[in-house]
Chains A and B, each alone.
Chain A
Amino acid sequence: MAALDFERYYRKPGNTLFQAIVGGAQDPFDFWAGPFYVGFFGFVAVVAIVLGVLVLFTAVGQYGDWDLLRANIPPPDRIYGLGLAPFLKGGAWQIVVSCATVSFFAWALREVDICRKLEMGFHVPAMYMLAVSAWLILQILRPLAMGCWCEGFDLSFSSHLTWVSNTGFKYMNFYDNPFHAYAVLGFFLTAMVLAMHGSAILGTHSTDPDPNVEMRREDSFWRDYVGYSTGEYGIHRLGFYLVVYTLIMSDLCIFTSGTLVKDWVQFWHPF
């Protein structure tokens, strides 16, 4: 891909995490590959991704179903508890999950590197790590708390849906899980506020020579329409923190199920 005309100005070597940690040594991967920045943590992420994908394809080939939707890497059987499992009885899942986890962390640190190079805030890697927390809880922390890797979900398109369905019924009725309800509320609110923000910008941009007039028309519309406008900075804060709320509720939703609460219907009738 061709570089953007202003890109050369920002592509400067140095100021990486690797340098800060190792103490001044040059980051050996401090370069770009096409549009991608690589960096030491990009290298780590690529190694973990390639290793994980190779193991994944090896296991799928052994299991025999190459269908894109049905190909499946199941978690270990219950008898292996928190130990290592044979390759085709959950060992492949353990390797792939480990590689994915390493690559997620490396990816976050690579985002930190890019933020440092661009001298911007660290909001994106922070949000990214919050999203990764859902993966950590589903695949690592909750299985640890439950004492069995078998609690993790299948790495597959259709059987991870089956896992979600079965896990909902295992704790009787997931809709009675209050954190699930708060998380769903957060997802719906997020989508609604997203539509409102997109409509505001798409509805007003390039309608007046003065962008300040466009921006004031956004504010005055929302005041007329719903009585309040958060402003063009505030709307991004609102969206950001709605997602933070939603992710925290999602984490609580799945972590409490099975560890603290066995039955979400009985949860509401404690006595």
Chain B
Amino acid sequence: MATFIPAAHEPLEDAEPSHLDVADPLGIRVGKATRWEFLRNLKVDTQVGTIWLGTWGAASTAFFLAGLLVFFLAGMDQTGGSLFLLIKYFGNINLAPPDGLGLARSLRGGGYWQIVLGFWALSTIFWAGRCIERLIRHKWRPFLVFAWLSAIFLTACIWVFHPLLVGTWSDAPALGLNSDLQWAQNFSVLWGNLYYNPWHQLAIFFLFGSAMLWGMHGATILATSSEASHHEDAEIKNMTSGSQKAILFWRWTMGFNAFPKSIHDWLWWFAVGVVLASGIGILSTGVVTNNWYAWAVDHGTVAQYGPMTRSAINQRPRPMPPELLAPSGYMPAAGK
């Protein structure tokens, strides 16, 4: 074997922000960007803007703002028109979905929820159009829009497909800071503890794995960036000593390593795996089983705790009779 000499690299001073950040190789950027010099202290690029609007972007922004406006109007409705109470109780603003699958019969009885979610659904779909349009203009392969569509798939499972499958919008999360936390808790309990849903387990594996991979990849690149490993497009074409050290670190540590291109395959699939597995977990809930603990006992993935009987654990909780329901969890109006 011939004596190996690592490819020459230009040692960078210390993580200098890209000196090419005004460049526009395709000649398609418009407007005049600004510079925030304080960002140099964080060792990130200083150029801010300009942002592209476009027809898709205009539609997406308009529907997002319209949804936000309806959300705030509904919040004002819940606080009896008091802006002070709206700010004070902002976390408790709760736009609940209606029962059943039809249109809500009143704004307070689910109409606000349907209007806001309709607007925001359109906004995210138009954003996908904007993503495709910009990807084509900048000559990227379409990985980003597939990641975005995967995220839309999860939100559609939560807010549309699961309610359609179980026959009521009220299984979807209400809108509001506290109410989506309440939904996460209640949904799990209602369907027999989501920890025993294997797709939920897989989603958490991907979620924690994503954090682990970002920790590994980010740390590896930062540790070798003085030898140019962060110029990833260049390293994919022609490795220099920075990438060789990054590769050998993991090879020597765990006997296996990725390469400058293949590590990004791992990253992308772990991140997209989170939303795909979550979406399947939501879809299967109520379809595969109505009690994930019972399912896990049946399939031998968990020991059976206590003398629960099949018939007892297989019952869905009966819906509360309407006369016992508090009036939709609204806060008392101002002055009452």
Measuring CB to CB, which residues of chain A are less than 8 angstroms from any residue of chain B?
1, 4-10, 32, 34-37, 65, 67, 69-70, 72, 110-111, 114-115, 117-124, 126-127, 130-131, 157-159, 161-162, 164-165, 173, 175-176, 181, 186-188, 190-207, 211-221, 223-234, 236-240, 242-243, 246-247
Contacts and interface: CB of A to CB of B under 8 A. Distances in A.
Interface in B181-211: 181-182, 184-185, 193, 195-196, 201, 206-208, 210-211
Interface of B: 1, 3-6, 15-18, 20-21, 23-26, 28-29, 33, 42-45, 47-52, 130-131, 134-135, 137-144, 146-147, 151, 181-182, 184-185, 193, 195-196, 201, 206-208, 210-227, 230-234, 236-237, 244-249, 251-256, 261, 264-265, 267-268, 270-272, 274-275, 296, 300-303, 305
B144 A219 contact: no
Contacts of A123: 218-220, 222-223
A194 B271 contact: yes
Contacts of A36: 252-255
A165 B303 contact: no
Given A35-B251, A205-B232, A219-B18, A6 B4 contact: yes
Contacts of A158: 196, 296, 301-303
Contact of B17 (A127, A195, A233): A233
Contact of B143 (A9, A193, A198): A198
A202 B212 contact: no
17 contacts: A120-B227, A124-B249, A126-B219, A158-B196, A158-B302, A164-B195, A187-B207, A195-B268, A205-B233, A217-B26, A224-B29, A225-B51, A231-B44, A232-B230, A232-B231, A237-B222, A239-B215
B249 A115 contact: yes
B211 to A, nearest CB: 5
A175 B137 CA distance: 42
Given A192-B271, A220-B26, A223-B47, A175 B182 contact: yes
